[in-house]
Amino acid sequence: MSPAAAYLRVLSAFADFDGRASRAEFWGFVLVHLGVTVVLAVASAVVGTVTEAAWVAGSAVFALYAVGTFFPALSAVARRLHDTGRSSLFVLVGLLPVIGLVLVYWLARPGDPAPNAWGQPADG
């Protein structure tokens, strides 16, 4: 699955907290999301040097993107955790300083090759 396809798939499944997400789907989404975030942040900073109104507009676009992608990203993390056999409540581990790095480790691990409580293995 290409990163762009993964990004669109995650955005279209923004309210789907059930099921499983493959590593390709999750990390493809993360890659494109990070790229868009960097482009918007740089554009906001550059536009913000022109006038204060431009800075406000650029910041608003950046904030709207951040808010608009919060639930799709959260659902992707939940589905990725399901693919590794963990409850989506483990997303809360990410809130703990230092210990939260365990979440990144879990997200990077291969998924269960067999069906689990959240369904068949993720494709992609």
* Residue 63 within a domain: yes
pLDDT tens per residue, range 67-111? 999 999 999 999 999 999 999 999 999 999 999 999 999 999 999
* Residue 120 within a domain: no
* Residue 117 within a domain: no
Q: What is the value of pTM for the model shown?
A: 0.90
Sign of the CA dihedral with 8 first, then 10, 16, and 21 last = positive
Tokens of 6: 């993964």
How many domains is the chain partitioned into structurally? 1
pLDDT tens per residue, range 13-44? 999 999 999 999 999 999 999 999 999 999 88
Sign of the CA dihedral with 83 first, then 86, 89, and 92 last = negative
What pLDDT, on the 0 to 100 scale, is given for residue 75?
97
Question: Which residue range forms the structural domain that includes residue 17?
Answer: 3-108
